[in-house]
Amino acid sequence: MATIAEHLEKVRARINQAAQNAQRNPSDIRLLAVSKTKPASDIEAAYESQQRAFGENYVQEGADKVAQLSALNDIEWHFIGPLQSNKTRIVAESFDWVQSIDRLKIARRLNEQRPPESEPLQVLIQVNIDDESSKSGVKAEDVLQFANDMREFKSLNLRGLMAIPKANPSEQEQERTLSSLHKLFEELKQHFPQVDTLSVGMSSDLEAAILHGSTMVRVGTDIFGARNS
Ligand SMILES: *Cc1c(COP(=O)(O)O)cnc(C)c1O
């Protein structure tokens, strides 16, 4: 069985190749290792291979790993899962980034609960880019207003957008989705100079995402193997 180190090397090579094909600088694309359901020892193995940014989907599981691995103090922890308002405090206290902001109520609570001695929380607005009823996220047409409404939250720093495109799209659907997401990102950047992050692309579609302006791919399966749960 290939090791996490070997998997990481392969994923990095894919990112470099995709960047080259898109005539982009590979250093403009960050890799987020999605470690949900995986043990802390897997994160340590990836850390040994110079991986520093990790994504978690479940509040308690994620906070436990943050605590367990606190000695690795240059890990950047991203919360990327659905977030209920009664769980915002743990996230505000444990994580560096939240990629799944989709309601003002959640943003307001994170802003209030971010410890004053911590850096601002780095946040992305999750966009429901394919307007799927099963998915959370702000509608594309509401993103600019939503971003404006967030300006008052001084403990949050808006860095950009996150999206989970619909699974198994046709090539045309994928092209349409990723293009409209890229356009929305460029529009957001015009109004918010600090915005620099478009989080899209996973194990199966990172090449297409990089071709369409992704600056952060979130990869779980192709680094840590299939999840049982
Ligand atoms: C699980 C997950 C990923 C990683 O997906 P893989 O297909 O395992 O690479 C990325 N983003 C989000 C939001 C996830 O929940």
52-102, pLDDT tens digit by residue?
999 999 999 999 999 999 999 999 999 999 999 999 999 999 999 999 999
Distance of alpha carbon 14 from alpha carbon 98, whole angstroms: 26
* Statement: residue 29 has pLDDT above 70: yes
Q: Which amino acid is at 22?
A: A
Task: pLDDT band for 2, please (50, 70, 90 cuts).
Answer: confident
What distance lies between CA 16 and its chain's CA centroid? 19
Task: pLDDT band for 1, please (50, 70, 90 cuts).
Answer: low
Q: Hey, which bits of 15-140 come out as E strands?
A: 30-34, 53-56, 76-79, 97-101, 121-127
Q: Does residue 218 line the site of ligand 1, with CB under 6 A?
A: yes
Q: Does residue 164 line the site of ligand 1, with CB under 6 A?
A: yes
Q: Does residue 41 line the site of ligand 1, with CB under 6 A?
A: no
Between the alpha carbon of residue 85 and those of residues 28, 48, 92, 155, 215, the distances in Å are 33, 35, 11, 17, 28
* Statement: residue 6 has pLDDT above 70: yes
**34 C-alpha to ligand 1 centroid (Å):** 6
Please report the pLDDT score of residue 160 as a whole number.
98
* Ligand 1 atom showing the smallest separation from residue 202 Cα: 9
Q: Does residue 98 line the site of ligand 1, with CB under 6 A?
A: no
- DSSP-derived 3-state class of residue 58: coil
Neighbours of 185 (CB within 10 A): 24
Please report the pLDDT score of residue 229 as a whole number.
59
